[in-house]
Amino acid sequence: MKNVLITGITGQDGAYLAKFLLDKGYKVFGTYRRLSTPNFWRLQYLGIFENIELLPVDLLDSFSIIEAIKIARPVEIYNLAAQSFVGASFEQPLASCEITGLGVVKILEAIRNIAPEVKFYQASTSEMYGDNLYSEQSEDTIFDPSSPYAAAKLYAHNMVKIYRKGYGLFTCTGILFNHESPIRGLEFVTRKITNAVAKISLGLEDYIELGNIEAKRDWGFAPEYIEAMWLMLQQEEPDDYVIATNETHTIKEFLEAAFSRVGLDWGKHVKIDKRFMRPLDVRYLKGNYHKSEIKLGWKPKTSFNQLVNIMLESDLERWSRWKKGEHFAWDAWNYPNEKKILSRKLNLDS
């Protein structure tokens, strides 16, 4: 049995990857941050919590990273841990850069010193391209980050390449475009929309507040992107790959698809609020996954409309169960209303 170590195992990608690898016969070790209220609902929701070996790790603490590698003795490490919400990185730029950027170097140093035979995957992001003018983005497109999160990810992306070339480590990066699912965090606009549409259709809310609904994104289905991560580490040579759908859709299109699914006019239930406008925004992203299709044999299978329906049906089902008094592993019922969350972005225009 092969051992694998996943950082950020409590997130969307970490949970799906853990399930994928368990199904392939791996023994899965996962790192998590110690919090006063543990956040294991995704692992519980997927029914795999009891099958994971959990290790408390702080990515700013090299010793805890080294100890995790010594305990897990992995053949593969997938680094999915990050401060992954772009909006929050403007409010907490130092934390975002330290965790998302420097934390990766601490892992790479640990691998170089105690486990140089380990294969390493780094989760890069399409946000590194920034507000670019290219019709589509590939592995060769110039990066121009537009947020502290994207800048930190680009630093980590470049360090992974340096450790690959300089020390001969097997290090790969997946430049993943937006990928969504029913267990996406509520701070992300897709899940924010499907969760709100479900509540509105069931009479639990009246409207949703959003920022720039004209932004265009390349949205795929997260469980399919997990397979691409694994495929990268099964190749003979390490490399970097774009994982995307080669389609782009506006947030407005996502709204239209979700509201029409429940027979409602989105225009009557959406309010635009400057709180949700970023200081710098990325207006357009569309990934070219040609290299991944040729070298990995990977391509997306789920269409945009199918993705919206999958997410919406899940939120509808969960809120319906909640109304009946059921309790189960899930985030939305206990998530704070955004109207209660103060942000310094409120003062951007004053």
**Residues belonging to the active site:** 125, 127, 149
Q: Rounded to whole angstroms, what are the CA distances from 284 to 97, 126, 175, 252, 300?
A: 24, 10, 16, 13, 20
Q: What is the DSSP string of 162-179?
A: HHHHHH--EEEEEEEPPE
Q: Residue 86 in contact with residue 147, Cβ under 8 Å? A: yes
73: amino acid identity, one letter: R
Please state, in angstroms and as integers, the Cα–Cα distance from residue 89 to each residue in 147, 248, 279, 350, following that order. 7, 24, 11, 21
Please report where in the chains the tokens 């980590």 appear, as a residue: 156
Which residues are CB-neighbours of 10 under 8 A, at least 6 positions away? 30, 32, 39, 40, 42, 43
Contact 82, 107 (CB under 8 A): no
Helix, strand, coil percentages (3-state) for the chain, rounded to 5, are 45, 15, 40
Cβ(255)–Cβ(266) below 8 Å = yes
Q: Distance between CA atoms of 311 and 194, rounded to whole angstroms?
A: 6
